[in-house]
Structure 1
């Protein structure tokens, strides 16, 4: 049996995470069924019932066609057929003995990450590789971070999105808790940025990565999850060049109430008067139903208006002091309560770093950085002439880096408003998954590429 190396226990503050889970039940009275229906149901009960599938075998639409997911499903079905369903976690029948650990590829405050594969795959060309995060529960208890690990595991079970990690398996091994996730061979955006000319991305590349991160944050906020740790080290690059947002141990679980709102409730962001006007392409509205079906002119005018789907956890509040220093919002740096607006501040810092190769408020020490975040005004590198696209980028960054969380861009309606900014003109968010990424990672051998997952110090750091 493999023995995982233990982290040295260190004292740390305990974060406060407020969670709310809503559940509903529906029932049907038996009196409403006809006698024929009762006979039909009684007959069905006499038939042999299929065995329920483990939770790990439930289809996830964005991964169901991939070889890595199919390989896991086949392994679970094979073991379920020979040993029966169920496992340590009550859902997955896979365990540590089913995996072969290749090497350690990351380490952090509450866990280590290993590159692994299924043990029964003998042909190297057909092997699928995964990332296994291993957490020592005894160390977690000493550091008083059991709740953080439980929050991350809860969130991973909720996710099903092309820009977020897929949970393939979870199990316990001795005093270790293990989760098997997707392995990203392209490294992270921090490492990728340092390989670019002048250690910065082009405006088009920065816009692409910002758009995919925005879509991922939108999905999280729809689930009531405030991420709270956005930074390039936490944005991994898949083998196809698209991104995957990772690490949710600092996230806050809350509630988000979906609503459809008219875009006229808030004006579309305009550029500063000095900026050259950027024409927006006319929007075409497609409807399966002709407007003649609506007899009321009031209904016709409402249906013709552009509407936005909004699901933002605007009521969530926390006083936890979490995040990465250069990315925390002013309300966090000053010790005040914070909510969903911290993610949109972090998005502004993220775009700034992608475009200019540094963060805007970095100081000589962590304390100086926090003071700059609270008091220092936002400044951009002085350039004699800038393009209209860079003017748009600066306007978006300025709106996101509003020190007042109430006035911060996205604080009220989240991604629904941010998507309408001129910086994203011409970008189809619905089809961005099919867009060719600016950088396609080179296909390397597993031994060579494994060291790029998260770098030598993976992105689990916090303060």
Structure 2
């Protein structure tokens, strides 16, 4: 079952510019690992000592300390009492995220709290260990980890806080709810590089979407929310049986995993990148349906040929070609290296893009500033909308014929 139903777009997509995306409740739920990986309970108790984490080398990555200070007690174990909760940031089905200040070094961090009970109940949907391990790599293009510990019945991740908001909120602030092609080239390019970093770590993200694309204080991309991530080799070698991801962004290969005979690889993240690019330039995801999520699933499964484009929002032939080359059969879908070589990115300096000036530079008032996230925590519902069981298609989708 894939959670976060398509009704989210009915809620947040309005023809009125005055409301546009601001009622998009589920899209800001960065905790909502909509149906993710398995077997969390047995591994989540491992303590990741803060002083064992590598220091970030990227100058754009972080203005905070590279590691939390080492505690004087022998166990070096943190508890939630070592942090002061400043404000809530997001909440999802499996936990909550807060902006916190460490009482030992006074630095600002992002704290994600997940209950042991929730992780055990949804072991096939959310994987604490995978997320912790990815965060601990300290890749400058991915959100970084500062500490991981168990506190009573809660498992806690202390991460860097990307105070520039997320891609969803950035789109929300635009008069057309879209970006120009030049702006979209920048964000898409950094998303591709972040995704490439994750794949090089032997992980798939499996839930790439605008609210999981965070922006640091310099406006550069940080890929986040790895609860849905799984080992790339495991996905390629083992039959997958649980669909994971978010309705409008999920690839047909992942969607069909409930049939129990599907394996997949990096192409599933490339599909989601194509959906994001389309949304950046065309306002809505290409397979959105106001009839409900099952209609969106069917559109994804039976999609063939070119997607349609909004004549009110004209884009270049290169942009259309790139989108169509990503939203296609897996054997024809562009790889990340092929995406980088596409003419759409002819003006991109791939080696120095993270040293360049972002199209939008956040005017951060303080290191705990949350104004670049569109929806206040208090306005979020108590839980994300739940999907209905996916109705299998009446005939095999195009790529299984």
Hey, what's the Cα distance between the residues in 1 that align with 2:110 and 2:313? 45
1:37 corresponds to: none
Hey, what's the Cα distance between the residues in 2 that align with 1:438 and 1:16? 39
SS in structure 2 at match of 1:332: helix
Contact 2:99 2:161 in 1 (8 A): yes
Deviations 1:437-463 (A, max 9, x none): 000112124665268288645999886
Hey, what's the Cα distance between the residues in 2 that align with 1:448 and 1:67? 14
The answer to whether the aligner puts 1:69 opposite 2:65 as a matched pair is yes
1:379 corresponds to: 307
State the shift of 1:249 in Å: 1.1
Hey, what's the Cα distance between the residues in 1 that align with 2:78 and 2:229? 27
The answer to whether the aligner puts 1:180 opposite 2:158 as a matched pair is yes
State the shift of 1:164 in Å: 0.4
Contact 1:96 1:171 in 2 (8 A): no
SS in structure 2 at match of 1:140: helix
Consecutive unaligned residues of structure 1, counting only runs of 5 or more, are 1-11, 19-52, 88-92, 122-126, 257-312
State the shift of 1:141 in Å: 2.1
SS in structure 1 at match of 2:64: helix
2:204 corresponds to: 226
The answer to whether the aligner puts 1:332 opposite 2:254 as a matched pair is yes
Hey, what's the Cα distance between the residues in 2 that align with 1:380 and 1:220? 31
More RCO (CA 8 Å, sep 6+): 2
State the shift of 1:374 in Å: 1.7
Hey, what's the Cα distance between the residues in 1 that align with 2:104 and 2:343? 51
Q: TM-score, normalised by structure 1?
A: 0.66
SS in structure 1 at match of 2:193: helix
State the shift of 1:15 in Å: 4.5
Over 3 Å counting, the alpha-carbon distance change for 1:106 and 1:383 in structure 2 is: closer
Contact 1:324 1:461 in 2 (8 A): no
Contact 2:125 2:244 in 1 (8 A): no
Match of 2:352 among 425, 431, 438: 431
Match of 2:110 among 122, 131, 152: 131
Contact 1:187 1:455 in 2 (8 A): no
2:145 corresponds to: 167
The answer to whether the aligner puts 1:245 opposite 2:170 as a matched pair is no
Hey, what's the Cα distance between the residues in 1 that align with 2:94 and 2:313? 47
Deviations 1:404-446 (A, max 9, x none): 2122111xxxx22221111111311111110110001121246
Contact 1:344 1:400 in 2 (8 A): yes
Consecutive unaligned residues of structure 2, counting only runs of 5 or more, are 1-33, 41-47, 388-401
SS in structure 1 at match of 2:146: strand
Contact 2:275 2:285 in 1 (8 A): yes
1:5 corresponds to: none
1:97 corresponds to: 81
Hey, what's the Cα distance between the residues in 2 that align with 1:246 and 1:60? 18
Which deviates more, 131-140 or 112-121?
112-121
Hey, what's the Cα distance between the residues in 2 that align with 1:420 and 1:462? 39
Deviating runs (4+, > 4 A) in structure 1?
Answer: 12-18, 63-67, 313-317, 384-387, 445-448, 457-463
Hey, what's the Cα distance between the residues in 2 that align with 1:462 and 1:347? 24
Over 3 Å counting, the alpha-carbon distance change for 1:344 and 1:67 in structure 2 is: closer
Over 3 Å counting, the alpha-carbon distance change for 1:455 and 1:321 in structure 2 is: farther
Over 3 Å counting, the alpha-carbon distance change for 1:69 and 1:316 in structure 2 is: farther
Hey, what's the Cα distance between the residues in 1 that align with 2:384 and 2:189? 23
Contact 1:322 1:462 in 2 (8 A): no
Hey, what's the Cα distance between the residues in 1 that align with 2:376 and 2:263? 30
Deviations 1:351-409 (A, max 9, x none): 0001111111111200000011122444333549966xx2111111110011x212211
Match of 1:56 among 47, 51, 57: 51
Larger Rg: 1
State the shift of 1:223 in Å: 1.5
